[in-house]
Structure 1
Amino acid sequence: MQIRHLIVCQISLLIGLFFLNSCQNSASTEDIDTSKISVKLDILRFDEAMMKLTTREQIKGFLSKNGRFVNVFYQTTPDDNALIDRLMLIHNNPDTKAFYEETKQSFGNLDALKKQFEVAFKHIKYYYPDFKEPQIITTFTALDLELVVADDMIVIPLETFLGPKAKYRPQYPDYLLRRFDKPYIVPSVLTILAKKYNAIDPNDHTLMSDMVFYGKSYEFTRAMLPEVADSLLIAYPDYDLVKTWNSQDLVWGYFIDNKLLYETNDRIKDKYLSERPRVQEIGNDCPGRIGQWLGWRIVSRYRTENPSITLVDLMKNQNARDIFEKSKYKGQVED
């Protein structure tokens, strides 16, 4: 079954964005007030501090004082000579120094990033009062490493999120590169943080279970960043999101016709969950990770059909089949 070519593909960007906002606003959300919630939020600019280090002794001293950071981000110890050699090269090479200046100028004082993290952390604390804000650290690695999210630490290599105008970019195909831009930083962090609260049944290895897991992760991120567009949360271009929304009856029909919901073969599941430019088994217009998107639709419908279920209730529910059955989802566009 192929996804049909839709007229909506040719609509103007303005109408498309209006539609996406309507989709987002129609989803189940809880009306909450975070104005009285305080969070501790400071960003350590290790990018600035480290790029001033030019000798081995300076670098070794910095790494020794920040052992936890080295363990989490570099996955090694502060006395790793290979790491010190690499940092020496980055900090003293004219090309990488110029690249850092481009990064520093692009990001400025990080005010926008701080504000979005503050919104997200306040929302997390509303739902989970015991939430302890992780330390946020920014770095510069000359594209050596990527975003790292741990319970107590978030490390952001700023240069990986410079966007399409950057002189150098991460070595990924175009369909992945779009998310290496500033607007994707906080949504990416929140989707990873969601794992801490996302209960799963370790004995359920079905595609349905995986789909619902991803759906709960995106629903969590949407709740913590209520003003952020769905296209940024799931990293689909607006074009793909609109088109997929309108074709979901056909996508759903493919999953049902091919009995995929309770598939347990990892190779088959990967076709619908993993990063791919297109899921050609369904159609040339079907974006990768379609199973993740479909899982989000199921979870969103579940919340719509069961308004008394809070976000915390949802995240604690490890029964994917229960969520699916109570969602009453059958590929319908209406939310």
Structure 2
Amino acid sequence: MIYNVKFGQSYLFFLLCGLLMFVSCKHDSKPDISNIHLDVKILRFDKELYAGKSKDINQTASILKKKYTNFYDDYIHRMVGNFEYTEQEVMETLYKDQAYTDLTYEVDSVFKTLGSVESELDLAFRYIRHYYPKAKIPNFISFVSGFAVQTPVGDNYMGIGLDMFLGDESKFYKAIVQSVPAYLSRRFSPEYIIPRVTETYAREELFPELDEDRTLISKMIHNGKILYFMDRILEESVPDSVKIGYTGNQVEWCKTFESDIWAFYLQNNLLFETDYQKIQVYLSEGPFTPGLGEKNESAPKLGIWTGWQIVRKYMTENKDVTLQQLMAEQDAQKILNGSKYKPK
């Protein structure tokens, strides 16, 4: 398979939060969305593409290109191929590759239908439409790319790479551990689809990060707002660990050492640091955060987790602030001060 292009994405995710954290994230009750109707559907490009294996390639390419337009072009030329190959060459390579056949078979066995995913997506995007009535709901398209990309966003579409949600015990993830480490692939399970899709939509379509947000605290707050937004649009049954991508032990570690984590930022003058080489370690994916914790037991991307707690505290302390006002607020210092965040 020709797997070249990687679309920008982030993996943020999962497990039960403690009572205090649970209460803090319930800024108010869920709004009434009974009058909002969307009927979200997912187009099964993965099934239609594979069905063309026994048909004329040119005819299949013509049908898929007409139906899927921009997604089809991105899939052929950016996800599984590149512009050095014709669409027919890319498709012929796919159809001849046993790995593509095997992977598609497993995807189909896990996702015979997507009815439950559609229902959960519909609910989440009804909440989004409640808070942002002008939000444009994309066309959702499922596909298989050989682990090239998980939730790409394109012109009027949002893709769902089903091969990256098969379940953490999938034999394929063990085979690609050198390119996709286990701390990432353990999150490739069906329960992560809705959190990942909504997170990517929030980051790419609603609240893109500003270029001027260069300090660690501004990046912490920005990421914290994204996670708080997810608090508000996802069902309360979705655990914090799924939203941010932690194990249960990592969630517990963060809660146990929350005051120590905060003291570390302060003692090392990190909050207003702008050197990306110095701060990216507190924002990036990894098995742990270097420099914190013993025996590499710390959680990764601790800056994002701390930003989430600051935003939650801010909304608890300022109950008159709406979700829209929070997401529009670009003054990270104002949110930090208003949160009165001083973990003990």
Q: TM-score, normalised by structure 1?
A: 0.87
> How many Å apart are 1:94 and its aligned residue?
4.0
> How many Å apart are 1:21 and its aligned residue?
6.1
Instruction: Tell me which amino acid in the other structure corresponds to 1:184.
Output: Y
Distance in 1 separating the partners of 2:226 and 2:17: 23
CA contact (8 A) 1:218 1:233 kept: yes
- Distance change >3 Å, CA 131–CA 213, structure 1 → 2: same
Q: Does 1:181 align with 2:189?
A: yes
Q: Does 1:222 align with 2:224?
A: no
- Distance change >3 Å, CA 204–CA 89, structure 1 → 2: closer
Distance in 1 separating the partners of 2:183 and 2:154: 26
> How many Å apart are 1:238 and its aligned residue?
1.3
> How many Å apart are 1:63 and its aligned residue?
4.5
Distance in 1 separating the partners of 2:246 and 2:83: 41
CA contact (8 A) 2:17 2:239 kept: no
Q: Does 1:235 align with 2:235?
A: no
Match of 1:268 in 2: 278
Distance in 2 separating the partners of 1:30 and 1:73: 41
CA contact (8 A) 1:125 1:131 kept: yes
CA contact (8 A) 1:140 1:157 kept: yes
- Distance change >3 Å, CA 278–CA 165, structure 1 → 2: closer
CA contact (8 A) 2:70 2:154 kept: no
> How many Å apart are 1:74 and its aligned residue?
4.6
Distance in 2 separating the partners of 1:163 and 1:20: 26
1:304 to 296, 316, 320: 316
CA contact (8 A) 1:67 1:78 kept: no
- Which structure 2 residues correspond to residues 162-201 of structure 1 after superposition, within 5 A? 162-169=166-173, 171-195=179-203, 196-198=205-207
> How many Å apart are 1:181 and its aligned residue?
1.4
Q: Does 1:280 align with 2:282?
A: no
Distance in 2 separating the partners of 1:301 and 1:95: 48
Instruction: Tell me which amino acid in the other structure corresponds to 1:218.
Output: L
> How many Å apart are 1:301 and its aligned residue?
0.6
- Which structure 2 residues correspond to residues 26-65 of structure 1 after superposition, within 5 A? 26-31=24-29, 32-54=31-53, 55-65=56-66
> How many Å apart are 1:72 and its aligned residue?
4.1
Distance in 2 separating the partners of 1:62 and 1:151: 19
CA contact (8 A) 2:42 2:140 kept: yes
Distance in 1 separating the partners of 2:82 and 2:280: 37
2:330 to 315, 318, 326: 318
Distance in 2 separating the partners of 1:75 and 1:317: 38
Distance in 2 separating the partners of 1:115 and 1:239: 31
Distance in 2 separating the partners of 1:104 and 1:21: 39
Distance in 1 separating the partners of 2:155 and 2:21: 32
Instruction: Tell me which amino acid in the other structure corresponds to 2:225.
Output: K
> How many Å apart are 1:237 and its aligned residue?
0.9
Q: Which segment drifts farther, 105-114 or 198-207?
A: 198-207
- Distance change >3 Å, CA 75–CA 327, structure 1 → 2: farther
* Count of aligned pairs: 316
The CA RMSD over aligned residues, in Å, is 2.3
Distance in 1 separating the partners of 2:290 and 2:37: 47
> How many Å apart are 1:139 and its aligned residue?
0.9
Give the unaligned 5+ runs of structure 2.
Answer: 1-14
Q: Which segment drifts farther, 254-263 or 179-188?
A: 179-188
Q: Which segment drifts farther, 196-205 or 208-217?
A: 196-205
Distance in 2 separating the partners of 1:323 and 1:154: 31
> How many Å apart are 1:62 and its aligned residue?
3.4
Distance in 2 separating the partners of 1:138 and 1:115: 15
